[in-house]
């Protein structure tokens, strides 16, 4: 009997502290009542303060994990997170195309909350050429969007300009996350579908506990797409979810604490 439960796949690194990466993604899928599957790309030794070390899995084994999932499970949507080098990116891109993985959300993870580089410098070109063109939605924050688009962003209008440049690289939709503008009034994101711009705003929450925000946001979009929501609704609901998760975040450890992924579950 075929199950009708929505199924989502995360392709990302592991966070031993549990606040970001694969752990955050699977928590977010569960909170959205979506069955979560995973392909592990890297193992990090990290906590709320810093990343102590990174161990990448081989591109061949990463690809094999994706083969294992894609040949046995229906995948309604997928997301990528930490893809640390060009060999890993190319391996994932090849399998995504081979198995026609639908509704791919690409979170172009580059730097951790503590400042550790999670994407090797040489892999930035591969990110732009090999994985972003496959995205149904690509979700850079402002520093990531600056690297990808090549322009400095200090305003909403420059966010829109960056979104237009990134859209030309091939993704279906672009979401520029505006949290780094820190206007202390609203956190405004820009969604661009190639025709229209949408401003998605929620209240600004002043807190140190924001570890895993980008992972959680992209995973929530992925979960909503797996459930069949239209893209703008999927993004809008994900924005509300992650805002509430930040508002109800934890003070765990002595650095940037994690979000409360289960704030919406009674």
Q: In the predicted model, what is the mean pLDDT of the chain?
A: 92
Share of residues in the chain with pLDDT > 70 (%): 95
User: DSSP 3-state assignment of 102?
Assistant: coil
Residue 2 lies in a domain: no
Share of residues in the chain with pLDDT > 90 (%): 78
pTM of the full predicted structure? 0.95
Return the CATH number at 33: 3.40.1190.20
Residue 1 lies in a domain: no
Residue 254 lies in a domain: no
Residues 90-106: tens digit of each pLDDT: 999 999 999 999 999 99
The DSSP annotation for 214-236 comes to: HHHHHHHHHHHHHTT--HHHHHH
Tell me the C-alpha distance between 175 and 38, whole Å: 23
Local confidence band at 187 (pLDDT 50, 70, 90 cut-offs): confident
Residues with catalytic function? 177, 210, 212-215
Residue 105 lies in a domain: yes
User: For the chain, what is the domain count?
Assistant: 1
Tell me the C-alpha distance between 251 and 134, whole Å: 37
Residue 156 lies in a domain: yes
**In angstroms, how far is CA 221 from the centroid of its own chain?**
9
Residue 73 lies in a domain: yes
Region label for 204, one of left (φ > 0), alpha (ψ between -120 and 50) or beta (otherwise): beta
Local confidence band at 182 (pLDDT 50, 70, 90 cut-offs): low
Number of H helices and E strands in the chain, helices first, is 8, 9
Contact (Cβ atoms closer than 8 angstroms) between residue 93 and residue 28: no
Residues 223-245: tens digit of each pLDDT: 999 999 999 999 999 999 999 99
Go through the chain and tell me how many residues it has: 266
Domain extent, residue 96, equals: 7-247
- Angle (nearest 5°) at CA 18 between 92 and 200: 70
Local confidence band at 123 (pLDDT 50, 70, 90 cut-offs): confident
Residue 261 lies in a domain: no
């Amino acid at each position: 009997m075929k199950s009708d439960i929505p199924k989502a796949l995360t392709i990302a690194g592991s966070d031993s502290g549990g606040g970001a990466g694969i752990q955050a993604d699977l928590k977010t899928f569960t909170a959205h009542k979506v069955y979560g599957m995973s392909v592990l790309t890297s193992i990090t030794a990290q906590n709320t303060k810093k990343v102590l070390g990174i161990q990448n899995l081989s591109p061949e084994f990463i690809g094999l994990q994706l083969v294992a999932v894609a040949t046995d499970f229906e995948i309604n949507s997928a997301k990528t997170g930490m893809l640390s080098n060009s060999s890993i990116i190319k391996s994932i891109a090849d399998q995504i195309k081979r198995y026609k993985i639908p509704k791919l959300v690409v979170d172009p993870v580059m730097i951790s909350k503590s400042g550790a580089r999670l994407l090797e410098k040489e892999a930035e070109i591969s990110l732009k050429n090999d994985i972003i063109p496959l995205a149904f939605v690509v979700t850079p924050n402002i520093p990531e969007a600056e690297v990808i688009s090549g322009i400095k962003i200090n305003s909403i209008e420059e966010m829109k300009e960056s979104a237009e440049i990134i859209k030309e690289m091939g993704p279906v939709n672009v979401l520029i996350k505006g949290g780094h503008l820190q206007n202390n009034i609203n956190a405004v994101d820009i969604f661009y579908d190639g025709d229209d711009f949408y401003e998605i705003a929620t209240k600004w929450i002043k807190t140190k506990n924001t570890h895993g925000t980008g992972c959680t946001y992209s995973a929530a979009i992925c979960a909503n797409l797996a459930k069949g929501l239209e893209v703008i609704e999927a993004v809008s609901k994900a924005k509300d979810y992650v805002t509430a998760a930040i508002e109800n975040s934890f003070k765990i450890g002595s650095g940037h604490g994690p979000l409360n992924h289960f704030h919406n579950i009674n």
